[in-house]
Amino acid sequence: MSLSPAPVVVREVGLRDGLQILPRVLPTAHKLEWLRLAHEAGLREIEVGSFVPARLMPQLADTAELVAFAKTLPGCKPSVLVPNLKGAERAIASGAHAMLLPLSASHAHSLANLKRTPDEVVEDLRRIVDLRDAKGSDCLVEVGMSTAFGCTIQGRVEPSEVLRLLKAALDAGIDRIGLADTVGYADPLQVKTLFEQCLAVAGDKLACGHFHDTRGLGSANVFAAWQAGMRRFDACTGGIGGCPHAPGASGNVATEDLAYLFASMGVPTGLDFDRLMALRARVAQWLEGEPLHGAIWRAGLPKTVAA
């Protein structure tokens, strides 16, 4: 008798990655409703914002309030992006479940995004882990290795460099790490190969895949990473978002598309498709005029797949 497939965790990143490049500031009341509806749809890991200076990213200035609200939702694990030690201090103070630190595998992207080299960022990781430990916090330190599959500024990123930085980040004491196709350059074979190589080094500390659907391969790349053994993925309601330093690369893989992908294969996610579609409709209202992406919303689920 075959065993049921292992569950997959989908982390919703729309409130941070989805909103950070939009010119408008979504009212906090709408964000709180987004959080509530996402939770009702079965999402338990939600990236709610980023602790960056409000003058640089006013879209995310209410992150602490969102963390506080998320913590009132049963089982919800709010995470936040932090760019440096000061951001980590704010994340710890907020009581966030996890802080996500960007580490670019591309030297050029790292300088554009953080004004620091990748190795300087690794040294920051050591200081942030030490700070977390000194404060007795249980906030998880997670690294998102951006541009792991290529870069719009630098071009090719060598797998050997990804592996070198992966080992360096693990040596710095982080809790977990993920690989990100920040600019939508990856193909499924490349994804499967690199995840297998990194899993051999990191084991269960390699804990997330983050993909963009810029060139139509987002879901295919998620499937390739799943085949390699990954069981946790980032996604964004409506397929919005992207990196400000990756021109033309907007469009995270849509949460509702991932819900369909895994449901079609009988892989449990705990997600309610109808509620995800209701959330997407609300986001479309709030962001009227902004393009939303994804595929499954046009036709809905086939009769062969349960919602």
Which residues belong to the active site? 243
Rounded CA-CA distance 15/122 in Å is 26
- CB neighbour list of residue 196: distance below 8 Å, 6 or more residues apart: 228, 229
Alpha helices in the chain (DSSP H): 28-40, 63-70, 85-94, 107-114, 118-134, 159-171, 188-202, 218-228, 255-264, 273-286, 296-299
Quick one: how far is CA 88 from the chain centroid? 17
CA distances in angstroms from 65 to 12, 31, 61, 252, 292, listed in the order given:
17, 10, 9, 25, 26
CA atoms within 13 A on the CB side of 226: 23
State the amino acid at position 58 in one-letter form. Answer: P
Can you tell me the distance from the alpha carbon of 43 to that of 232, in angstroms, rounded to the nearest whole number?
A: 12
For the stretch 118-137, what's the b/e string if a residue is b when 16 or more beta carbons lie within 10 angstroms of its beta carbon?
beebbebbeebbeebeeeeb
